[in-house]
Structure 1
Amino acid sequence: MDLKQLQYFVACAQSGSFSDAAKILYSTQSSVSKVIKTLENTLGIQLFDRLPRGIRLTVQGQKVYHYVCKITNEIDTLENMAAHGMTKWIRISLNPSSWFADQFVDFYNETYEKKYHFQITAAGVRSVMERVRDYMDDIGFVYILSQQKENFLHELARNKIQFVALYETDVILYPGRQTEFYDSEKERVDLEELEGLRFIQNYQDEFFDIGAAREDAFQWQNLDISVLTNSDHIMEKMLRNSKVSNVGGSYLSENKTGTTPGIPLNMGDSKVIFGYMLRRGEETDESIQELLAFLMSRLPKN
């Protein structure tokens, strides 16, 4: 077993195709397939199911993938150290957030002399969890609905991840400027009133639907989501210039400030929770602690 085999394995797992992995690796499909077959023979494990269109990790392959990600990421860290000395990298994944973007710029400027280097990835809740679990990132920031918190925490426990809530905010409807709700001066909106509206959302996250057994539970499938994006710039432009609306949190949706007034959704005691994920039982680096302290200083008191 060698590093090349592990790198090929990760590329295949992430792309879901030998041919796509070959493009990433500047190799050929037959060469990639041969390397993976050799690795499977060495381990005595079938790593992938070969499907009519692409490949899929087997159950055993998923377990191997978790370990291999940790190994390859540590090697990347060593290579960075060799190239840049003792450069400190902080790897972050998060749900798209204009509020976080603003705070990050200030944090970067405040810590400029420390020469931190950052890798930041925007993704959905489940992807953020998996990236932290697989040692691809050091910390992950997410938004979840309070009514889904119990199921969300159960999923994290299975993956040996801990979650710390930082802030709770109301669930808010942000109507686009061309919708009938814009400038309606309504104080609250019921879920039934959302029928007929089209929505733009950052991500159609699984955790908004997990365990949604309550009658008042918010479920993505009940909304007509016409645009999914990880771009706050697209979000702002669409709300300003089209007939779409957005559902989000109040305080942490600054990209909508000046775009459209928010109207609280009548969802009982449901809240949007903002918090972070870490691998359970592992010591937190001082740089991560510094980032967390900075973010908490910027949040208002609940």
Structure 2
Amino acid sequence: MDVKQLQYFVVSVDMGSFHAAAEALITTQPNVSKIVKSLEEELDMVLLNRNRNGVTITPQGESIYMYAIEVLKNINIINEFKKGQGLEMLSISSVPSDTLSFHLSKFYNDESKKNIQIDFFETNVEEILKRVHSRKSELGFVYISKRSMSAFKQTIKSKGLEYHELAKTPLYLFVGPNSPLYTRESVDKATIKDIKLVQYQEKQYSLYSQLGHIKEDFLYNRDNISVSYTNSDCFLIQLLKNTSCGFIGSSFINNQYQEYGIKAIPILSYEKSISFGYIHRRRDSLSNLAKSLILYFDNLEMDGK
């Protein structure tokens, strides 16, 4: 089996015919058909059904296709490494954060004289742990509530990870001009039960769950509160700007969404209740670029530092 066989198979599936695949690969239709057939014979599987209109993938082909995609993707990554010798690279996973994205862009600009590449991936805390554990990311930036910290530390220890806190931050209610709470200087959690909320999709480490304490709390009574979920920071911002929805979250900069007319209102009794920091693999030394980024964040005037 070789790379060309996998490439011709994947392109044939994507294009839907050997003829279209041949055009994309700048070769002939018989050559594409021959190479895909050689892959099928080597695997002793029928990967594609041939018909007058082109080709369709078989159930066996579906499984091989997914693995072939990963192989081709990894080969491209290896080739990029070969091209970019001397290139400093930093891969980061983070919870969605407009503030973090802003400061990463400033850091990149400050380091622009160097030959660097930063890969940035936004997702939830559970996925960040997986990505750092599997070495897809060197650093993972997260917000963790006081209530979740014990379970969080046990989880990362079992995965060979460690957590470093950069700041203690408040829990805020973020709202836009359409919210009846927009002019408030502070709110308590009883007030929040009367508004619709939009939250990031998190299972175990949601900051929204910081407000829940016992079963009688309003958090557990779904009849009394309306919550929608998203994994998009852009969609969250637009909802806060244009509707009366609120968002319970944290930020090491309290004016995170100020440019969009969105106000951060402190939630009483939850001052400095959220930890902001990064995770990395315990036994691995940080790259020079990662160290520079951590130093950059250390020098920021964060809330609570």
TM-score (norm 2): 0.69
Deviation at 1:75, TM superposition (A): 6.0
Partner of 2:242: 241
Deviation at 1:168, TM superposition (A): 0.8
Evaluate the alpha carbon distance shift between residue 237 and residue 80 of structure 1 in structure 2; reply closer, same or farther with a 3 A threshold. same
Contact 2:90 2:289 in 1 (8 A): yes
Distance 1:266 1:128 in 2: 29
Q: How does 1:18-37 map to 2 (within 5 A)?
A: 28-32=57-61, 35=64
What pairs with 1:58-207 in structure 2 (closer than 5 Å)? 78-185=78-185, 187=186, 189-207=187-205
Q: Report the CA distance between 1:213 and its aligned residue.
A: 7.9
1:69-121 per-position Cα deviation (integer Å, ceiling 9, x unaligned): 9x999866532222333322211110111111111111111111211011110
Superposed displacement of residue 291, structure 1 = 1.1
8 Å CA contact retained: 2:141, 2:279: yes
Deviation at 1:268, TM superposition (A): 5.1
* Contact 1:147 1:270 survives alignment (8 Å): no
- Contact 2:199–2:227 at 8 Å: present in 1 too? yes
Alpha-carbon spacing, 1:206–1:85, altered in 2? closer, same or farther (3 Å)? same
Partner of 2:274: 272
2:284 pairs, out of 275, 282, 285, with 282
Q: Do the aligned partners of 1:175 and 1:182 also contact (CA within 8 Å) in 2? A: yes
SS at match of 2:285: coil
- Seen in structure 2, the aligned counterparts of structure 1 residues 283 and 225 have a Cα distance that, compared at 3 Å, is same
Q: Partner amino acid for 1:203?
A: Q
User: What is the match of residue 64 of structure 1?
Assistant: none
2:267 aligned counterpart, secondary structure: strand
Question: Are the structure 2 counterparts of residues 193 and 211 from structure 1 closer, same or farther at C-alpha, using a change threshold of 3 Å?
Answer: closer
Secondary structure at 1:168 match in 2: strand
Contact 2:166 2:298 in 1 (8 A): yes
Whether the 8 Å CA contact 1:153–1:163 is kept in 2: the answer is yes
Q: Is the 8 A contact 1:156 1:162 kept in 2?
A: yes
- Cα 1:205/1:275, change in 2 over 3 Å: farther
Output one character per residue of 1:205-255: Cα deviation in whole Å (capped at 9) or x when no partner.
Answer: 421388998439895886522241322x33333222211001112543544
- Structure 1 position 143, deviation (Å): 0.8
Q: 1:193 to 1:99 in 2, by over 3 A?
A: same
Shift of 1:287: 1.2
Displacement of 1:34: 6.4
Letter of the structure 2 residue corresponding to residue 244 of structure 1? C
Gap change, CA 1:241 and 1:284, over 3 Å in 2: same
For the 8 Å contact 1:145–1:270, the answer to whether it is kept is no
Structure-2 residue corresponding to 1:10: none
Distance (whole Å) between structure 1 residues aligned to residue 135 and residue 152 of structure 2: 20
* Inter-CA distance 274–107: structure 2 relative to 1 (3 Å threshold): same
How has the CA–CA distance of structure 1 residues 137 and 28 changed in structure 2, closer, same or farther, with 3 Å as cutoff? Answer: farther
Q: In 2, Cα distance between the equivalents of 1:207 and 1:155?
A: 12
Structure 1 counterpart of 2:141, which letter?
A: F
Q: Is the 8 A contact 1:98 1:254 kept in 2?
A: no
CA–CA distance in 1 between the matches of 2:57 and 2:221? Answer: 41
Contact 1:96 1:123 in 2 (8 A): yes
For 1:111, give the aligned amino acid: E
Q: Is the 8 A contact 1:208 1:219 kept in 2?
A: no
TM-score after normalising by structure 1: 0.70
Gaps of 5+ in 1: 5-21, 39-68
Identity of aligned residues (%): 18
Measured after TM superposition, the shift of residue 193 of structure 1 is 1.9
Name stretches of at least 5 consecutive residues in structure 2 with no aligned partner.
5-47, 49-54
